[in-house]
Each structure stands twice: as structure tokens, then as C-alpha cells.
Amino acid sequence: MSQLSALPGKDTVTGQRYTFAPRMAKTPKSFIREILKVTERPEIISFAGGLPSPALIDVEGIRIASNSVLEQDGQCALQYSTTEGYLPLRQFIADRYKKRLGLSVSPDEILITNGSQQCLDLIGKVLIGTGDHIAIERPGYLGAIQAFSLYEPEFHPVPLMNDGPDTASLDETCHSCPVRLFYGVPNSQNPSGITYSEKRRKELAAILRNQGVLFVEDDAYGELNFSGNSLPSMRTFLPHQTIITGSFSKILAPGMRMGWVAAPPAIMEQLVVAKQASDLHSNYLSQRIAYEYLLHNDIDSHIRKIRAAYQHQCDVMIRMLREEFPETVSWTHPLGGMFIWVTLPEGCSSMEVFEQALKENVAVLPGMPFYVDGGGTHTMRLNFSNSTDDTIITGMGRLAGVIRRMYIP
């Protein structure tokens, strides 16, 4: 590797110099992970992360499932397995797509991954080359920005409206350059909380179909719509050009790192090869435990409890925004998921708010990392799922006080 293309680095402790691949210079750190280090102190009320409520993780049910797997088939469950994943678990996912969304998905079109984050990495490996054009929501999920950045694409941000992407902007982008794929979160988008309307989904599908562009549908929050009524998957309108990623992290347990990707056969073949090169297969024991749990527990009842709890927590946070915050502050009204997107008045720095709020033992997530083209300096994401009523009321009260002191004359 030439010195022109290399990325030099120096260990601040030993003084040793290293040379890294140039792609690392274009790959941002996970801002959330860095902030979580700051918020580990128990006195901090954190709205910064994206953690599910620990109170809604069925520890006892997972313990029983774990014991059952180890007692009945422990040697097999602790052995190597196939790259694609445990077939009964893939069949469960396929059956659930049919039940929930009316989609006909074969288990052969499903690959079990180490969380949905690995889906993004695998998709990047097989579909994105250096300089390729990809479209992403503005603001977009920073986990996808980080994963795709490793493959050095050219990002084209598509503004989000109240009911989904600005399709006119996307159409213009697709006509101006050869867009390889569009990544989006149609249900309770991270970070904005916005859900695409059915009208927007149809418009989006028409554009992508005409231009031959793939849609990567991140459906991490699809089960968490407060009403329980699912809008159609993009695969309904774009059957051969949609890749869906899913996760058990929000409905079962994030620590199990169980996600999956559903893709057309030709794409799936390449994803399997990429995964073989990466880690051979996902944690087989976790797959077996997850399936055992799903087999003997009413997951729909469990999800209804999660939805009800998150809707209540969202309502409490919005009430505090409405009652305590200045009138110049605006926010989204999520139909599900775990986040509210807050816009401060122009000129108000969310990074400064973060710094001042942390002095009051409250953590928020500034919006800048969600933008690939700059911007978002006066926005922030608030997480309501990992808080109680009391912590929301106390923390939001402190946050409102910080904003008023900083920006109200």
C-alpha cells in the first residue's frame, strides 16, 4: 500500500506507529457508543441510547428455554452449525411474515445474523463498492451510516417529510446518478420516529422499480407500532428489489444478538458467502434458545405488553415536551418505536444542550451524527423506552430548564 493511500496512526501510550486501511478514515465512530460510556454513572438519566426496557425482558422465560435446550439437546446446541441458521427458527420468521404482513417468504430466503447490524455490514460487503451511489434518509440511522461507510460509497441523503421520504428528491437523485440502493426504516424510523404512509410507500416503490434500485428495508421497529396495525412491507410493492432486515433485539432480548436478513435468492447466495467469510455462522446456542422460547411462549401477547408500555412512556415524554419546553421547540409524534426527534430553534446547538444537560445528570443524543452531509446541529434524539414515568418527568424537567436558561432571553 502506498503512503498516499495509507492512513497513519500512532499509539498515544507506546508511541508505536501503525498504518491502517484508508477506509477507516471515512468510517465514523459510533457516537452512541461513545456517549454510553459517559452515561454509565447510575445518577445519569439517559435519553441518549436506544435500549429496550429491561423490565420487559422475560428473563425467567429465557432461563427456562435455555435450560430446556441444554438438557434436551445440549451437545448439538453447543456445536458448529450451518451458515444460514437454525431452520426451525427461519421457518418461524417466514411464517410470521405471512401472518403479520401477508408476505410469502421461504426459509431459504432468510439468513440468521448477529443482530440486524451485521445485516447492514453484509449488505455493504456484497452490494457496495468504492464510489457507488447509495441513497439514505435524512436524518438517517447512524448504525447504517457507519456500516456502509466502510465500503466507501457516495451517500445521497433524501429528506424525510412527516409521512416518509421526499420522493421528488429521490427521483431527482436517481435520474442524476446510478443509485445502487436506498436504505430506509419505514416503520418508526430511527432517529425521527416517522412512519411512512402507504401512499409514500407506493410512490417510493414506483420510483425504485422504474430505476432498478434496490430498497433495504430496516424493519427493526415494525412490531412496535402502538396500534398493532402493520402497514405493508415495501416487499409488497417491490417484491424482487427489496431486502428486509429484522431483529429479535426489540421483542426478545438485545443481548442474544439475534437478527436476520430476508433477500431474493440471488442476493441471499452472496450474503451467505460473505457471512461464511466473516464468522461462519451466528451464535447457534442463542438461536436454539430463541426458538425454544418462541415455541412455548405467546410472543404476540408479550409484544402487546411492550407496545402498551412504550406508548405510555412516549405519551409521558410528549406531555412534558408540550407543558415544559419553550414554544419554539418542536418534535415528531411517533406511531411506534422508541424515539422522539426534537428540533430546537435555529442557532440553538444540541451539542451545547448535551454538555449542559450532562451537568444536570441528563443525557440526550445530539442529531449531527445522523446526517451524512452536515446539518442537524439544532436537533436531538430522545429515547423513551428505557425510562420510567418518574425518570422521564424528572429528566425532561431538567432538560427543559437547561434549554430555557440557554436560549430564552
What is the reported pLDDT for 4?
Answer: 38
Per-residue pLDDT at 60 exceeds 70: yes
Q: Which of 11-25, 26-40, 336-350 has the highest mean pLDDT?
A: 336-350
Residue 3 identity: Q
Go through 289-306 and write b for each residue having 16 or more CB atoms within 10 A of its CB, e for each that does not.
bbbbbbeebebeebbeeb
Pairing of strands 45-46, 362-363: parallel
Query: Taking the domains of the chain in order of start, what are their residue ranges?
Result: 21-57+301-407, 59-296
What is the reported pLDDT for 5?
Answer: 46
Which pTM does this prediction carry?
A: 0.92
What is the reported pLDDT for 69?
Answer: 98
Residue 326 φ then ψ, to 5°: -60, 150
Task: Report the percentage of the chain scoring pLDDT > 90.
Answer: 87
CATH (one of 1.10.1040.10, 3.20.20.70, 3.40.640.10, 3.40.50.9100) for 59-296: 3.40.640.10
Q: Order of strands, edge to edge, in the sheet holding 179-184?
A: 110-114, 258-262, 242-247, 214-218, 179-184, 133-138, 154-161, 164-165
Rg of the chain (C-alpha set): 22
Kindly state the cell numbers that stand for 61.
422465560
How many residues does this entry show for the chain? 409
Tell me, yes or no, if the two domains 21-57+301-407 and 59-296 fold the same way.
Answer: no
List, as one string, the DSSP characters of 121-158: HHHHHHH--TT-EEEEEES--HHHHHHHHTT--EEEEE
Q: What is the DSSP letter of 256?
A: G
pLDDT bracket for residue 10 (50, 70, 90): low
* Least confident residue range of 5-19, 51-65, 94-108, 139-153: 5-19
Per-residue pLDDT at 333 exceeds 50: yes
What is the reported pLDDT for 27?
Answer: 72
What is the reported pLDDT for 2?
Answer: 35
Contact present, 246 and 219 (Cβ < 8 Å): yes
Contact present, 368 and 380 (Cβ < 8 Å): no
Per the DSSP assignment, residues forming a β-bridge with 164 are 161
CATH (one of 3.90.1150.10, 3.30.1360.40, 2.60.40.150, 3.20.20.540) for 21-57+301-407: 3.90.1150.10
Kindly state the cell numbers that stand for 394.
424528572
